[in-house]
Amino acid sequence: MVFARFIGFAVVRAWQGFWRNAMMSLAATATVILMLVLLSGLFIVIAGLNSGLEFIESKVGVTARLVEGLPEAQRNVLISYVEELPGVQSVEYVSPEMAMERLREWHRQRGQELSFGGSDPELYASIEVSLLDPGASRAVSEALVERREVSEITTSQDAYDKLLGIIGVIRTVGIIALGLVGLTVLFMIVNTIRIAVYSRANEIEIMRLVGASDSFIRWPFILEGILSGLIGAVITIVLVAIVWDPIQPILFDVFQMETAVSAQYLATLSAIVLGAGLGVSALGSWISVRSNLSSTT
């Protein structure tokens, strides 16, 4: 009962203190929102790029164009050789007829009809190498370059490496930006609580004279800072929920994020936003109270 009354008192005093110093409190809350919106955007983009990376990983392979007129026996020897290379999952022979049918099917799926303007070109024969590890693409390509049965090699390794580099840059820049905004949030909350403490110095002194404990004095100020984080987190979650439906098709089309567009993903993102908002604001409040409350003695 005593503890419940103490919690109620601390919450009420925190709410009163938040609006007593409204300008600084709202500025701190706005900074929290900025940090959490940035966090949400970074989380979505990184998750999307990782999903796209997984999609590319599933497509990374090596296609080797075979020389014209290659006998079946030599082709089978080449396939057996490639199957023994490290990192190779499977090898499939694609005849010119199979390649033509794939091309026609690709156009049919897009509502188009393949036409060569009266000519009848013949596509080349090839082998398609599926890999266990996308990183093996370069080694397999180098091994195939030395084979006389192969005339040309194509691979998506460059696209894979480029996407890895993009993810690294975005992650680094995002973390640095989040760190800077996070420090700004801490600074704003620390100063907000500092002003609150000094504005109530006489009240704090009276509470100490009548025997109030340090916890009884500190917790309203800590909760006042946490309130900024809570309000900022709730506003950010509402903003993300509002834009979630419009951005789902973009996430799927651009990043192939089939699993990321679920309600569970949004719930996870909301939990991260809420935890980050409360965590940073609680840390800032605690730092400010620890460093400033004793000076009012």
Distances (CA, A) of 206 to 11, 56, 199, 257: 20, 67, 13, 59
Does residue 188 share a domain with residue 288?
A: yes
CA gap 68, 49 in Å, rounded: 40
Give how many domains the chain has, as a whole number.
Answer: 2
pTM of the model: 0.64
| Domain enclosing residue 82, as ranges | 61-155
Tens digits of per-residue pLDDT, 56-77? Answer: 666 667 888 888 888 888 888 8
Does residue 44 share a domain with residue 144?
A: no
What is the average pLDDT value for the chain, to the nearest integer? 77
Does residue 70 share a domain with residue 30?
A: no
The list of the chain residues with pLDDT below 50 reads 259
Residue-wise over 14-38: b if at least 16 C-beta within 10 A, else e?
beebbeebeebbebbbbbbbebbbb
Burial class (CB in 10 A: 0-12, 13-18, 19+), 231: buried
Tens digits of per-residue pLDDT, 142-180? Answer: 888 888 888 888 776 676 677 777 777 877 887 888 788
Q: What is the pLDDT, as a whole number, of residue 111?
A: 65
Q: What is the pLDDT, as a whole number, of residue 235?
A: 93
Q: What is the pLDDT, as a whole number, of residue 121?
A: 65
Does residue 45 share a domain with residue 96?
A: no
**Which CATH number do you get for residue 93?**
3.30.70.3040
